[in-house]
Structure 1
Amino acid sequence: MASYDILVGTVLGASEYVADALSETLSEQGHSVSIHLDPNVQEINPDAIWLICSSTHGAGDLPDNIQPFAKQISGMDLSHITFLVVGLGDSSYDTYCNGAMVLQNLMEKAGAKLAYQPIHIDVLHHPIPEDIAVEWLKDYLQNAV
């Protein structure tokens, strides 16, 4: 089984709820999971798959709690890292899921490998984003073999 470190970017808590649901799903399937509410590169397992779960704040900004992480990875060599992305947003804003897209871009610029297509969850159409995130994760786990 694999190890997953879930890196959470949240303002109002929705991403944290999604991270908890993803963690539970991974644990039920025998994977080891750690959740990082204040992600710090030095505390994240470099051998784990990094699952980034972030909302967008304000005018397309990263949530405050994940901004230091974004600064840390800028310019790093993360070519040994495999990662996944779950974005939460509201499609009535033109910066829909920008926080997740910024983090994905930073990870890819640092050489990290995206393991599966990201999911961007529109909370206008999915008021319980955990449900669709878990469906996406199960699809990934079935196709990751």
Structure 2
Amino acid sequence: MAKIALIVGSVYGGAQYVAEQAQPLLASFGHQVQLFEEAGLDEVLAYDAKCWLVITSTTGQGDIPDNLLPFYLALKNRFPLLTGKQFAVIALGDSSYDTFCGAGEQLHELLLEIQGTELAPMLRIDAGETLEPETIALPWLTQQFS
């Protein structure tokens, strides 16, 4: 099926856990999945995936997690066009903050800017509504990738 780069940005481990649950689920649908926990742009580009799946939490005032920030900045500075590549974003956040899912919003906007094709509208998961984001993310992934 598809080759998927699974790119994760995590602060306290929630997004990391969702990504670790997503990887075998996607593989069970026949996809080849590489998990990038400390994604480097060259490393992700070299993997040459058909689809980039970003799963990220938000920190501070809508900031991108430290483990994902270098990837985001490299993507923004080098601006490699993703023509022909699909992407999807799962954003974890807390709607009691004005910057709800701010990191996911920034990644989503940048991926559109560099001409990636959105596979599905961004999934926003609210920590105020669920303590187990995987219970929302995994059915969504099944719907998009099975």
In which range does the TM-score fall when normalised by the shorter chain? Answer: over 0.9
CA–CA separation in structure 2 for the residues paired with 1:140 and 1:80:
18
CA–CA separation in structure 2 for the residues paired with 1:132 and 1:35:
20
Instruction: Structure 1 unaligned segments of length 5 or more: list them.
Output: none
Deviation at 1:43, TM superposition (A): 1.1
Q: How many residues align?
A: 142
Q: Which residue of 2 aligns with 1:114?
A: 118
Deviation at 1:47, TM superposition (A): 3.0
CA–CA separation in structure 1 for the residues paired with 2:86 and 2:30:
19
TM-score by length of 2: 0.92
Q: Which residue of 2 aligns with 1:130?
A: 134
Q: Which runs of 4+ in 1 moved over 4 A?
A: none
The percentage of aligned residue pairs carrying the same residue is 34
CA–CA separation in structure 2 for the residues paired with 1:32 and 1:109:
26
Is contact 2:29-2:145 (8 Å) kept? no
TM-score by length of 1: 0.93
Deviation at 1:14, TM superposition (A): 0.4
CA–CA separation in structure 1 for the residues paired with 2:95 and 2:49:
34
C-alpha RMSD of matched pairs (Å): 1.1
CA–CA separation in structure 2 for the residues paired with 1:2 and 1:76:
21
Q: Which residue of 1 aligns with 2:3?
A: 3
